[in-house]
Amino acid sequence: MTPGERPRTLRRIAPALGLFLLSPLVAEYLLGNVPSSEIWGLVILAPMYGGGAIIIREVARRAGRGWPTIILLGCAYGVLEAALIDQTLFNPAPLFEGDVSRDSTLIPALGFSAVNAVGFTAGHAIWSIGVPIALAEILVPRRATTPWLGVPGLIVTCVVFVLGSLVLFGGIHDDSGFMASPPQRAGAAAVVALLVVAAFLVGRRSRPVRGGRSRKPWLVGVAAFVASAAFVARPEDWWGTAAGIALIAVMAVVISRWSRGDGWGAAHRLALAGGALLTQACIGFLLLLLHGTATAANLIGQVILVLGALALFLVARRTVRGTSGAGGTAEVG
């Protein structure tokens, strides 16, 4: 590769590199699940989180698919991580001291908590996959729905994802000594496969834009924040499980209808991502307190992360405003 080709290559893959880091930063650090003092953990987390997000985005866009496919693949990723890689879904150990979420909705025959199953699956689909991909695509409007990597780059990403997942799996297993049973792992693998199949069955036919103007972006953002905040704040019992499923179903229908309105575009997708991002920023401080990691250094680091998320949102908002025809057409398939 000549010196002149290197900058062109870097520019071409820059969105993928950004997504590689953005996914774990939003999913774990902004959430407060991993404190900023352990920022070195990106070396371990990025191959699995970022690699997974890139693979999902590239596969969906190469297949000409839109957000329904991306979100369902995100659900598959959520089950893969929580049930097969870190196996948190099946591990009887509490997530943190005093956590009783598993016991409150435990399904003994299956060995996992219903509230955790809903939370892990939807949480990864939204914050590990959906929000980072939406932000990354909005920042490169001309390439928002086109592949960012060639076939060799995608193969390398798959290798990095597998190796990163194996490293994380090995480290967690060595620390906890826990291993899900063969039937649990087989059942989880079957669910992952079903979600992947479903991801490519939905949206096979493009739906026409319905009449009427789309909702204002600020209203979409408020709805996203309220719904995502209600989702994470729901009770960790059977009522909370039912409420979480109902919220997901209602928002799926609402967003599907809104996205087919005349004028739906990047500004609305940014509003959805921004509302969910704000929820993540708010609960990050709470999780630091619950995990006992709310030291002065970590709180300062959390403030820096929140400010960074705000800066990224403002840059994306400026990009949307500076792009001609930002409203665009509905992307629903």
| DSSP state letters, 71-137 | HHHHHHHHHIIIIIIS-TTT--S-SSTT--HHHHTEETTTTEEHHHHHHHHHHIIIIIIIHHHHHHH
Average pLDDT of the segment spanning 161-181: 91
Query: CA separation (Å) from 86 to 5, 162, 169, 191?
Result: 39, 13, 6, 16
**Which residue in this structure is represented by tokens 């996914």?**
23
* Share above pLDDT 90 across residues of the chain, in percent, rounded to a whole number: 79
185 DSSP β-pair partners: none
Whole-number Å distance between alpha carbons of 144 and 135: 10
CB 94 within 8 A of CB 102: yes
pLDDT of residue 47 exceeding 50: yes
Alpha-carbon distance of 208 to 210, in angstroms, equals: 6
Confidence of residue 330 (pLDDT cuts 50, 70, 90): very low
Residue 332 binned pLDDT confidence (cut-offs 50, 70, 90): very low
pLDDT in tens, 240-263: 999 999 999 999 999 999 998 888
Instruction: Identify the band that residue 326 occupies on the pLDDT scale cut at 50, 70 and 90.
Output: very low
Mean pLDDT of the chain: 90
- Sign of torsion over alpha carbons 137, 141, 145, 147: negative
Q: Domain spans of the chain?
A: 9-322
- Checking if the pLDDT of 213 tops 80, the result is no
pLDDT at residue 93, rounded to an integer: 83
Question: What confidence tier does 158 reach under pLDDT thresholds 50, 70, 90?
Answer: very high
Residue 203 identity (one-letter amino acid) = G
pLDDT at 6: 56
**Residue 17, CA atoms < 13 Å, CB-side half-sphere:** 6
- Report whether pLDDT(163) > 50: yes
pLDDT score for 74 = 98
CB contact at 8 A, 109 and 247: no
pLDDT at residue 101 greater than cutoff 80 = no
* Cβ-Cβ contacts under 8 Å for 85 (sequence gap 6 or more): 48, 165, 168, 169
Is it the case that residue 300 has pLDDT exceeding 70?
A: yes
Which is nearest to 221 in space by CA: 260, 255, 188, 174?
255
Q: Which residue has the tokens 């191959």?
A: 47
- Say how far apart CA 246 and CA 233 lie, in whole Å: 14
Can you tell me the distance from the alpha carbon of 10 to that of 54, in angstroms, rounded to the nearest whole number? 16
